Structures are given as structure tokens and as C-alpha cells.
Amino acid sequence: MSVEISPQFLAPVLASFRREFGEPAVVVRSPGRVNLIGEHTDYNQGFVLPAAVDRGIAMALRPRSDRRYLLRALDLGRRLEGDLRDLVPHPERWPNYLLGVLYQLQKAGYSLDGFELVYGGDLPMGAGMSSSAALECGLALSLNELFGLGLDRLTMAKLCQAAEHSFVGVKCGIMDQMASLMSQKDHVMMLDCQDLSFQFVPFPSSATIFLCDTQVERALAESAYNQRRSQCEAGVALLRKHAPDVHSLRDASLEMLDAHRAEFEPIIYRRCRYVIEENLRVVAACAALESKDLPAFGRLMNQSHQGLSHAYEVSCPELDVLAEAAAALPSVLGARMMGAGFGGCTINLVEVGQEKAFVDGMAPAFAKIGKTPKIHPCAPHCGAERLL
């Protein structure tokens, strides 16, 4: 095994698979991800700073002699069987991340045989750690290994993004899939979502990552996500009347936006301004990380949260309470909401050695939102890997 992984993570998946099907032919681990800064910039072809983490999903599978698939979600206690020649979105949500990958692979001309699959893991669902991309990328890598499809990782990332668009209905950017497949251990990825170029920056050994889970169901996240994307596209359409070379908000500047502010509805202006400012923050944050200026990095994280809460309006009271409480703790370098919003987690950069002080310091904030503290430590890890 090239990936350091605890036996507790893999054992239940292997035991379940062996009981039902026998020995697996392929076992893959696909990680969740965090994003230190750069939220809602990826679908605007901007910059992001994600990292895969040491939490994820394990998948075990073997081929069948027919064209049928059997999917078993161990943690959900759910299973689904069907035919590869008849793939349509399922009324239940969980299979669609997998079915979408099957659909996109076949649409792209790759030949698949049937297979049996069991998956499970230690990735908190609904926490904004992109369990969806972990599922999609894990299956793409598993099938690539099982059937010798010859896919490179960039192609897999693009197919998985298309799967989420087509079968889940979320017009996501490509950050999550790229992070899940491409990450390096102990590094963060500075990803340019315009041309998909990236560089790795070492994660500082003097800091650690904690996620504080609001435990709020993100019921509004998907519809609001698509709405925000449409609002950004409306802003780009306005700017293109004056600057035809503006194809996304990545191509726009604050000066350009302000020069034509009178033509914008106030809400469209706020959305666009946030994205342009967030792109600038990511570039500055990456420079701060490279120069080991963690206080500057933390200040940019705090500014990101304020923009997400007030300009992009994708936060919620629980996220605001946890982010503001964390930012006030002396052990915390920076704190902000992470992910699509309206629930999920805050991401907190904490000084090494101050972990207990952070956990203790957050207890009153969790009490304020009426929740039992749920705090997930995690560390930057490598991308999806075949284990067996």
C-alpha cells in the first residue's frame, strides 16, 4: 500500500465485500478535501487553494460477467442494482454520483462490463468536504484500474465534473475533482481553474487544520449554488458589452467592474465584486504561505468569510457564530466557512500545540448554536490511490 491508512478505515468495507462477493479485484481510497481559501471562484475560472485530506472513502469491487452493476453504500445501509445499458438519474440522491460517472464514461466511448461495488469510509457526509467528488473520483479510478481504460487523471476529473452536472444537477466547478485526484501529501494545491494548471505549496508544519461542523443540513446549498453561478454569468454578460475579451470573472478587474457599476443590479454587482476580490485574496494567500507569513494568511481567511457572509450571502447564522468565535481565539490564525454554504463546516487554521485550547475555546460557540461540539482534525494528504 502506498497510502498510509488505518485498518479501521478499510476493514469494514473489505469485510462486507468478502461476506457478499468474495475477494475484491480492486480496492481504492478516494479522499475528501478542504479548501483553505478561494470559495465560489472555481466555476468563475479563478484561483483556489484546496488539499485532499486524510479522510475519505474506500471502495472494493470486482467484475461481473454481464452488463449489470451492484452498488452497496455501507454507511447508508443502501444498495442498488441495475443495467449499464439503462442509466438514468435515481430518485434517491446517493447513487447519482456513481451512476453519473458510469453514464459519462460510456458517453465518452469507454467500454464497461458489469461490476460489484461496496464503499464506505470516515468522511463526514454533509460537512462540505466534498464526499460527492470522493465518490465520483473513487469510482472513476476504480473502473480505470478494473477495466484498463487508460484514463489519465485530468480526463477523470473532467468526466467526474460532467457526471455531477448531468446526474446530480449541480453545476460545480472542477476544484473538488482535481483536489481529490491530484493532491500531494503535506501540500496544498494552487489551482488555476481557467487553464487547470497547478502548483503545490508545502503546508506549514507549525499549523494544523480543524473543521467545525455546524451540523446544519445544507438544504439551500444546491439551488443557491446554481443561482450564484447564474448571477456571475449575468455580470460577465454585462461586462462583455464593453470588454469582449472578458469570458469569466477571472478576466475582470475591480476597476472595470466599478467603471460600469451603474449598469449592474446591486445584487449582481455584490456577487461579482466578491469573486474578483476572492481571486485576489487567493493569490495573496498563496504568496503568504510561500513566505511562511501565517498571520497574513489567516487575515485573508477571515476576510474571505466576511465576503462570503455579506457580499456573496452563502453563510448562515451557525457558520457566522463559529467563524467569529474561532477568529477571536489566540490559538487561531484564521477561520472561515468552507464549501457551498448554508451549513457544513468552518475551516480553522490553528497553531500546533494549541489544539486542546482550540477545542475547549469553541465549546461556548457550539453551545450558542445549540449543538454538541463536532470538530474534525485533518491534514493534507495525497489524492486517490489504488490500495489493492
- How far is Cα 59 from Cα 113, in angstroms, rounded to an integer? 17
Catalytic residues: 176
> Is residue 315 a contact partner of residue 309, using CB atoms and an 8 Å limit?
yes
C-alpha to C-alpha distances, 16 to 20, 264, 385, nearest whole angstrom: 6, 56, 20
Give residue for cell 457566522.
320
| 3 state DSSP class of 288 | helix
Strand ranges inside the chain, DSSP E: 26-35, 47-48, 50-63, 68-73, 78-83, 115-121, 187-192, 198-202, 207-213, 332-338, 345-351, 375-378, 385-386
| 3 state DSSP class of 287 | helix
Contacts of 46 (CB under 8 A, 6+ apart): 38, 193, 194, 248, 249, 250, 275, 278, 279, 282
